[in-house]
Amino acid sequence: MRIGMGYDVHKLVEDRKLILGGVEIPYEKGLLGHSDADVVVHAIMDALLGAAALGDIGKHFPDTDPKYKDISSIELLKYVGKLLDENNYRIGNIDATIICQRPKLAPYREQMIKNVAKALNTDTSKVCIKATTEEGLGFTGEGLGISSQAIALLEN
């Protein structure tokens, strides 16, 4: 068994869609980034890549490469899933937390879980996505950005 951890953060800005877990969430701001800036999928990818000792998302999807401009992070996650398959890894489980003050994410969690599981060709019972606030503290609590942490267990 191998364990990996991932972390990502993006700034909230106007005139961008808010995409989390492959779900477009109605909100007045979205996350700034080269891709769709889906922080939870980015954290999950880094956790998976780290567990497999295959680098990080910057290595595989550099923000200097125009082919990744505005790309769906779910598409990038599919690529990570293929890398895991090629290296004979199976997902034991993924546990991710999204940290933001607003919007409330509970209505979207199940779809996020389904999207991640489908992209990785695994069962939804192996994916957990949670959300929490920071009680108004820090950049996430002030609504300046959203962060996410993830941990993944791989079996070979």
Q: Output the known binding site.
A: 8-10, 34-35, 42, 56-58, 61-65, 132-135, 139
Question: Are the C-beta atoms of 154 and 46 separated by less than 8 Å?
Answer: no
Measured distance CA(61)–CA(65) in Å, rounded: 7
- Residue ranges for the known binding site for a divalent metal cation are 8, 10, 42
Tokens of 67: 């082919």
Beta-bridge partners for 96: 129, 150
Which three-class secondary structure state does DSSP give residue 51? helix
Q: What is the DSSP letter of 146?
A: E
CA distances 119 to 15, 16, 96, Å, are: 27, 23, 15
DSSP per residue, 12-32: EETTS-EEETTEEE--S-EE-
